[in-house]
Structure 1
Amino acid sequence: MPATTPSGAPPAIALRGVTKQFATEDGTPYTALRDLDITVRPGEFCAVVGPTGCGKSTTLTLVSGLDRPSAGSVEVHGKPVTSIAPGVAFMFQTDAILPWKTVLDNVSAGPRFRGAPKRKAFDDARDWIRRVGLSGFEGRYPHQLSGGMRKRVALAQNLINEPEILLMDEPFSALDVQTRAKMSGELLGLWELTRPAVVFVTHDLEEAIALADSVVVLTAGPAATVKARFAIDLPRPRVVQEIRFEPEFVDLYHEIWEALRAEVDVAYSQTTQLTGTEER
């Protein structure tokens, strides 16, 4: 029987005993994840942190249905994920907006694909374009936008479909520090409108704490698994640029960094040993 939340509903996302292996060039298996257990409640904002190569992005592909686990189970709202899961949106690290379409066409593409009449799709798209602060840019093409503006388009493109689950793979990593903080604040404001369950992958621990209700720390790969999970009991609504200075934030940062630092050290040691072996 699937686990349930305190309200009696199943978790929005449940990964239980998940192992994922890939075949290498010489045919031997590489274990990216092993015995991974993560649950996310409906409406919860969960951030996942860990060193490079620990399987954070792989975890998102398993939840989305873009890939299947080698062992264990992945469920969305209590149902096994056997294909691309309905009600799930995926925001990638690189822009997934269509370069040959205008902002309006990009944002309205989801509703139109789902059968919405053109006028309604355009009206809803204009509303979301306004919400992300791009009114007046409906006719622009992606190459005419800044990096931060393209991320706003991607947010509108995902949220217009009112997903129950939003998967985000380091979506702001390519932005400068100021724009990244601004986009994080805008994300929280937009998330509050519909409260999808979010799994947000990031290398930035400050970003994770500022955004999330919980932070999951993964161990270094290969065979990464959950090392620890921390509840982020900071009040909402939050101002991302300001909450980092609160004493409670600083205490959480030190606590989580103690768990994360050892894994970063392990991952760094593995890469330096590999480099040294290759040089010999």
Structure 2
Amino acid sequence: MTEDPVIRLRGATKRFRSSSGGVHTAVHDLTMTVGRGEFVAVVGPTGCGKSTTLSLVSGLEAPSEGEAVVNGRPVAGIPDGVGYMFQADAVLPWRTVLDNVATGPRYRGASRKEARERAGDWVRRVGLGGFEDYYPHQLSGGMRKRVAMAQTLVNEPSILLMDEPFSALDVQTRALMQDELLRLWSGTGAAVIFVTHDLEEAICLADRVLVMTAGPATVKAAFPVPLDRPRDVERIRLTTEFLDVYREIWESLREEVEETRQRGTHRVA
């Protein structure tokens, strides 16, 4: 990592107008940094504002107060070099695997031949060689996630934003995709913010885990993950080092989960 962070949120607050005419504060006084080549996972209670954090970095939303800075410049619109992988697949059902992956380079001005060559390379990298002419409905959930990953990485982003991309997968497929992500990200130098509800997933993937408070969210605590790379996510889950980190972070996260549960109980009552 370099000394100057690639991503910086400074005292960022985001408010939305609610359907009832009131104001909902999603995140409040949010300050965080991500360095070049750093993998940061963000965990917190359901609905606390984790996804809003990604929206501020990506330029999809502007902060109501404070600022979002990417590569030393205040965010105004979508910054160059940002790749965004959503929870729902963004594959186009009427296009083949190859043409789905080639869409990004085509939008960025590549010729059809160049775009398809780059797409073919990434289709093979994510383990879908031989499936170039298949359509999304012919693929399993895990295979569609591989297409989505290739769609994102084919543009060689310097910043990778991931919003619970593997949450809909079964446990075995999720572990495979976590290993695949680490393999493809390694050596790219891309800064990653990975939002997840799964603390195990966060620890397996990240260099640092940020715990968010119950909404409106701010950063409660940051925990380094002292696990060597490269990582095999199934093996490291069984190590003493992993369990020690898990217990430490869970103690912080548990308080916020309980706070959110209590608020929900009071509203129902």
Aligning the two structures, in what range does the TM-score lie when normalised by the shorter sequence?
over 0.9
Counterpart pick for 1:178 among 172, 183, 187: 172
Matched, 1:275 2:268: yes
CA-CA distance at 1:193 after TM superposition: 4.2
Q: Distance in 1 between matches of 2:176 and 2:47?
A: 28
Instruction: Answer yes or no: is the 8 Å Cα contact 2:27–2:218 preserved in 1.
Output: yes
Match among 182, 185, 188 for residue 191 of structure 1: 185
SS in 2 for 1:216: strand
* Match runs of 1:70-149 below 5 Å: 70-149=64-143
Aligned to 1:238: 231
Offset, 1:118: 1.3
Give the CA deviation at 1:195: 2.9
Could you tell me which amino acid in structure 1 is paired with residue 121 of structure 2?
Answer: D
Structure 1 position 172, deviation (Å): 0.3
- 1:105 deviation in Å? 0.3
Give the letter for the 1:231 counterpart: P
- The total of aligned residue pairs comes to 269
Match status 1:49 vs 2:43: yes
Superposed structure 1 runs of 4+ greater than 2 Å apart: none
Moved more, 28-37 or 150-159: 28-37
CA drift at 1:29: 1.0
Post-superposition offset of 1:194? 1.4
Equivalent-residue separation in structure 1 for 2:38 and 2:267 (angstroms): 38
**Cα distance in 1, alignment partners of residues 138 and 252 from structure 2:** 42
Q: Which among 244, 248, 251 is matched to residue 251 of structure 1?
A: 244
Aligned partner of 2:194: which letter?
F
**Corresponding letter in the other structure for 2:151:** Q
1:21 and 2:18 matched: no
How much does 1:85 deviate?
1.4
Q: Which residue of 2 aligns with 1:265?
A: 258
Measure the CA separation in 1 of the matches of 2:259 and 2:174. Answer: 28
Alignment correspondent of 1:67: 61
For residue 186 of structure 2, give the secondary structure of its aligned residue in structure 1.
Answer: helix
Q: Distance in 2 between matches of 1:32 and 1:115?
A: 36
**TM-score, structure 2 as length reference:** 0.98
Deviates more, 1:149-158 or 1:265-274: 265-274
How many Å apart are 1:270 and its aligned residue?
1.1
Q: Say if 2:206 and 2:225, in contact at 8 Å, map to a contact too.
A: yes
Name the TM-score, length of structure 1 as normaliser: 0.94
| Contact 2:12–2:67 (CA under 8 A) maintained in structure 1 | yes
Aligned-pair distance for 1:167? 0.3
Mapped to 2, the partners of 1:275 and 1:142 lie a distance apart of 41
> Is there any run of 5+ residues in structure 1 with no aligned partner, and where?
none
When the two chains are superposed, the root-mean-square deviation of aligned CA atoms in Å is 1.0
Conservation of the 8 A alpha-carbon contact between 2:102 and 2:119: yes
CA distance in 1, matches of 2:262, 2:136: 40
Q: C-alpha separation between the residues in 2 aligned to 1:154 and 1:44?
A: 22
